[in-house]
Structure 1
Amino acid sequence: MPHEINHSYKAVIFDMDGTVLDTLSELTHSLNHIFRLHQLPELSPQEVRLCLGYGYTGLIERAAPSVPADEQALLAEEFKQYYSAHCQGNTRPYDGVADMLAALRNGGYKTAIVSNKGQGAVSLLHEEFFRQLVDFSIGESPQYRKKPAPDMIEKALHLLNCRPEQAVYVGDSEVDKETADNAGLTSVLVTWGFRDSSFLESLHPDYLVHSCQELTHLFLPND
């Protein structure tokens, strides 16, 4: 794939979990805490990793597929409450993320985060890690359908005063690729998150990158 973007963009929009933040440890801890309360088998980080990307209800559906739907809804609500209170405990930006976001902003790009994580946790993590690095962060709420629906991306584009062809969506999963396609944005997938590189390559994103440095160079080839 090309090593730099041959197009003029105004904005770069990022997924949160698995893209700019390493949240796997805290998500695994929170999920297993809820599962223990309900005498459900605990999952390893690798198992949890493959269930992520679909929001809280999607996580429970994939992590506990044999549980009846009404119980899944209860688990999802309990997970939301517990995780929202503990989301900052073991969560950090991936190495190089802060420098990458700063470089993009200094290079003239508008930046934002759009995530299927609940808005409460997204707001807390935005304030802790990204307040000076991105314009805003949008999370799951009743106002918008979850990704891969384009609703949250469309809201972000409105706030950024950008057309779809002027923006790129950066993520780490099939959900993010489909979201970019549904919203009419160029797709960039990163290999350091919650999906394997070979799987991401099979999705045929517009760009596939393996480090924050490579991502920075994609948009700022002279840096």
Structure 2
Amino acid sequence: MMKKYKGIIYDIDCTLLDTFRMNMVPLQRIIQEELNEDWPIERLYHFTGYTGMKVMEELGVQDKETTYARWVKYVNEFEEGATPYPHVEDVLKTCQQKHIVQAIVSSKLRDQYEIDFVSKGFDQYIDVAILADDTPYQKQNPIPVQLAIEKMNLKPSEVIYIGDSISDHKVCLNAGIDFGYATWGSVSNEGIHASLVLQDPLEILELI
């Protein structure tokens, strides 16, 4: 029998919202401008789950803050925008109706959270949101997840984290909580050995 949970923590990018191209195509532009190199999009897979400043550090750009701000500008100008995966709002609404505590733990800054998530009205279903502004610790550090669980007033054993990346998987291992692998938005399963593999957002409803 599948385990049931009282709380769900979600990643946003490539889990609730399809944001891969809107983030990575502008990043290709930044890399071309800053490094004078043309990177195939596959080379950017390992950046999923990183904060923007962590990406800048990894790339070794000269002026991280200014370059990151320009990347954010390109992202927000990108025509495709953040698109919810099918059934995501139905899942969030049903979980709320069944009194499941729902949280967000994301590497997004709050301003971007407002643009991508709140603008769609999805925040009405969320009880706790821990974003990059809220703590100096980022994935794969367990502290943001532990902070969310504390605010949810639940035990770690009562919560599952739904995410798409190796960073999500590792933060669950470090925090000692269950991980649900959202394959619908994942760009690579390398290093992910999840016991719970989800093929469609609707499968989340089987966990409550």
Aligned equivalent of 2:145, options 139, 147, 153:
153
The alpha-carbon distance between structure 1 residues 112 and 87, as it changes in their structure 2 partners (threshold 3 A), is farther
Contact 1:150-1:183 at 8 Å conserved across structures: yes
Number of aligned residue pairs: give it.
207
Q: Deviations over 1:87-144 (max 9, x none)?
A: 8961111111111111222222111111112232123323113122222432212733
Partners of 2:105 and 2:77 in 1: how far apart? 20
Q: What stretches of structure 1 move > 4 A for 4+ residues in a row?
A: 83-89
Shift of 1:215: 2.3
The alpha-carbon distance between structure 1 residues 36 and 181, as it changes in their structure 2 partners (threshold 3 A), is same
Report the AA paired with residue 216 of structure 1.
Answer: L
Contact 1:112-1:134 at 8 Å conserved across structures: yes
Aligned equivalent of 2:9, options 7, 13, 21:
13
Shift of 1:48: 3.0
Q: Deviations over 1:143-192 (max 9, x none)?
A: 33001101211221122111211211110111111111111211111111
Contact 2:53-2:65 at 8 Å conserved across structures: no
Partners of 2:139 and 2:55 in 1: how far apart? 13
TM-score by length of 2: 0.84
Q: What residue number does 1:209 align with?
A: 198
Cα RMSD, aligned residues only? 2.6
Partners of 2:203 and 2:134 in 1: how far apart? 36
Contact 1:55-1:117 at 8 Å conserved across structures: yes
Q: Deviations over 1:21-50 (max 9, x none)?
A: 100121023313433443633444444334
Mapped pair 1:109 → 2:100: yes
Q: What residue number does 1:91 align with?
A: 82
Q: Which runs of 5+ in 2 are unaligned?
A: none
SS at match of 2:125: coil
Mapped pair 1:168 → 2:172: no
Shift of 1:71: 2.0
Q: What residue number does 1:77 align with?
A: 68
Partners of 1:42 and 1:107 in 2: how far apart? 48
Report the AA paired with residue 2 of structure 2.
Answer: I
Partners of 1:190 and 1:76 in 2: how far apart? 31
